[in-house]
C-alpha cells in the first residue's frame, strides 16, 4: 500500500516528507553555494532582516508560528555564527532583544539571490495558478488554529453519555468533586471549609433521599468525566439562603468535570440533561448557584437561559454564592 492511498490520514506523513525533502535540498544548496546557513534558520533570519528594529523572542514567535524554544535555539545557533547579536531589554530585564549583526546583514545579498531562484523552482513544482495553493494553505492553517482536532476526535472517540450513577461509582465521584473544587482559583480550600469537602467526598450519601439523584457523564469505556447532583424538589437542595423555600422548583448543584476531559463539553451536556429532566417534571422553575471562581460555567448557564436571581444569593463562609433561575413552564 502506498502512503497516498491512506487519504487524509497520510497528510501529516506526506507533509513531513515534503518538508524534509525541501529542507535537505535547501541545505545542500547553501552548502554548495558556499553559504554558511541552514534552511531551519530561514523564518527567524527573514523576520529580523525585514525588521527596522530589534525584536524579542516572543515577537518573532508570533510572526512565524515557531515555538519559543525553537526560536531561542535558532537564535543561539545564529549567534555562534555571528549573524545575530543579543541585547538587554531596557523595558523588561527578563527578556532579550535580537538584531542582525553587520555580518548577518551582508549575508542577505547572497541569500536573496538563492531565494529568488528557489522561489521560481517552487512555483514550477506547486503551480503559480493565481496563488491557489498558497491561498488554500492559508485557509488550512486558519482552520487548524481555530479547531482543536484532538478535542473533537477524542470527544467522539470516548462518546460520553449521561446516566444515573451507580453505588460503586460514588467513591470516585466524591474524589472527582474534591479534586475539581479544591483546584478552583479563589474557592475555599479543604482546610478552610472541611465540612463542605466532607460532603463532597461522601456525595453518594445524598441519594439516600429518593428525590436526589447523582448524574454522571460516562464514556463508552466506562470513564467518569463529570458529575452533577440533581434535586427533584428544592426543599432538599441543602444550600444557604432561601433556595430551599422555592415552590414548584427543581435544581442541581455540585457540577464537576474531570480536568482531563475539559474541552469535551461535558459541563454543558450534564447541564442540558438536567434541564431536560426539569422540563419533563412538574416543576415550573429550575434553581442553581455558582461563584466568581466558576466564570466559564456562569457564562454557559446564561447562554442556556438561566437568569440572575439576587434573592437567592448567600454567603458560604466568606465566599459569595450567586443564584440563578430558569423558567421551565409558563404560569
H helix or E strand, kind and range, residue 215: strand 212-218
User: What was the pLDDT predicted at 190?
Assistant: 94
Domain span at residue 37? 3-128
Residue 110 lies in a domain: yes
Given a cut of 80, whether residue 73 has pLDDT beyond it is yes
Confidence of residue 1 (pLDDT cuts 50, 70, 90): low
Are 187 and 42 in a shared domain? no
pTM of the complete model: 0.71
Residue 141 lies in a domain: no
From CA 86, how far away is CA 97, in angstroms rounded? 6
Residue 323 lies in a domain: yes
Q: What is the mean pLDDT of residues 63-72?
A: 90
Q: What DSSP string describes 80-103?
A: HTTSEEEEE-SS-TTSEEEEE-HH
Count of all residues that appear for the chain in the document: 331
User: What was the pLDDT predicted at 247?
Assistant: 94
* CATH code for position 238: 3.40.630.30
Judged by DSSP in three states, 286 sits in strand
Are 166 and 309 in a shared domain? yes
Given a cut of 80, whether residue 33 has pLDDT beyond it is yes
Are 269 and 175 in a shared domain? yes
* CATH code for position 57: 1.10.10.10
Percent above pLDDT 90 for the chain: 71
Residue 138 lies in a domain: no
Residue 171 lies in a domain: yes
Q: What are the CA-CA distances from residue 205 to residues 58, 167, 177, 245 (Å)?
A: 51, 10, 14, 22
Are 319 and 187 in contact by the 8 Å Cβ rule? The answer is yes
H helix or E strand, kind and range, residue 138: helix 132-146
Least confident of 142-156, 193-207, 301-315: 142-156
Residue 144 lies in a domain: no
Are 120 and 257 in a shared domain? no
User: What was the pLDDT predicted at 4?
Assistant: 66
Given a cut of 70, whether residue 265 has pLDDT beyond it is yes
User: What was the pLDDT predicted at 107?
Assistant: 95
Which three cell numbers, joined as nine digits, stand for 96? 532579550
Q: What is the mean pLDDT of residues 236-246?
A: 94
Are 98 and 162 in a shared domain? no
Beta-bridge mates of residue 161: 218
Look at the chain and report how many structural domains it folds into.
Answer: 2
Are 315 and 171 in a shared domain? yes
Are 114 and 170 in a shared domain? no
Are 200 and 254 in contact by the 8 Å Cβ rule? The answer is yes
Are 229 and 272 in a shared domain? yes
Are 164 and 297 in a shared domain? yes
Residue 152 lies in a domain: no
Least confident of 4-18, 95-109, 197-211: 4-18
Are 70 and 201 in a shared domain? no
Residue 279 lies in a domain: yes
Are 105 and 200 in a shared domain? no
Amino acid at each position: 500500500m502506498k502512503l497516498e492511498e491512506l487519504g487524509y490520514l497520510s497528510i501529516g506523513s506526506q507533509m513531513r516528507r515534503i518538508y524534509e525533502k525541501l529542507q535537505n535540498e535547501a541545505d545542500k544548496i547553501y552548502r554548495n553555494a558556499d553559504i554558511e546557513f541552514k534552511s531551519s534558520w530561514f523564518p527567524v533570519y527573514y523576520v529580523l532582516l525585514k525588521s527596522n528594529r530589534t525584536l524579542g523572542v516572543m515577537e518573532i514567535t508570533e510572526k512565524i508560528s515557531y515555538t519559543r524554544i525553537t526560536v531561542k535555539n535558532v537564535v543561539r545557533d545564529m549567534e555562534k555564527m555571528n549573524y545575530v547579536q543579543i541585547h538587554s531589554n531596557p523595558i523588561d530585564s527578563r527578556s532579550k532583544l535580537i538584531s542582525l549583526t553587520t555580518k548577518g546583514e551582508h549575508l542577505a545579498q547572497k541569500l536573496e539571490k538563492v531565494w529568488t531562484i528557489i522561489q521560481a523552482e517552487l512555483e514550477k513544482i506547486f503551480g503559480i495558478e493565481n496563488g491557489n495553493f498558497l491561498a488554500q494553505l492559508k485557509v488550512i492553517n486558519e482552520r487548524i488554529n481555530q479547531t482543536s482536532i484532538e478535542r473533537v476526535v477524542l470527544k467522539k472517540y470516548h462518546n460520553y453519555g449521561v446516566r444515573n450513577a451507580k453505588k460503586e461509582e460514588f467513591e470516585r465521584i466524591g474524589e472527582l468533586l474534591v479534586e475539581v473544587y479544591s483546584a478552583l482559583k479563589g474557592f475555599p480550600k479543604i482546610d478552610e471549609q472541611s465540612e463542605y469537602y466532607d460532603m463532597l467526598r461522601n456525595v453518594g450519601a445524598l441519594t439516600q433521599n429518593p428525590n436526589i439523584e447523582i448524574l454522571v457523564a460516562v464514556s463508552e469505556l466506562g470513564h467518569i468525566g463529570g458529575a452533577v447532583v440533581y434535586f427533584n424538589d428544592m426543599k432538599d437542595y441543602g444550600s444557604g439562603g432561601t433556595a430551599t423555600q422555592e415552590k414548584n422548583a427543581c435544581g442541581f448543584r455540585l457540577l464537576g468535570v474531570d480536568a482531563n476531559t475539559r474541552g469535551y463539553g461535558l459541563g454543558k451536556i450534564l447541564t442540558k440533561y438536567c434541564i431536560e429532566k426539569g422540563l419533563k417534571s412538574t416543576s415550573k422553575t429550575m434553581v442553581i448557584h455558582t461563584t466568581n471562581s466558576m466564570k466559564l460555567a456562569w457564562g454557559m448557564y446564561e447562554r442556556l437561559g438561566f437568569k440572575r436571581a439576587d434573592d437567592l444569593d448567600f454567603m458560604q463562609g466568606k465566599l459569595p454564592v450567586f443564584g440563578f433561575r430558569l423558567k421551565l413552564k409558563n404560569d
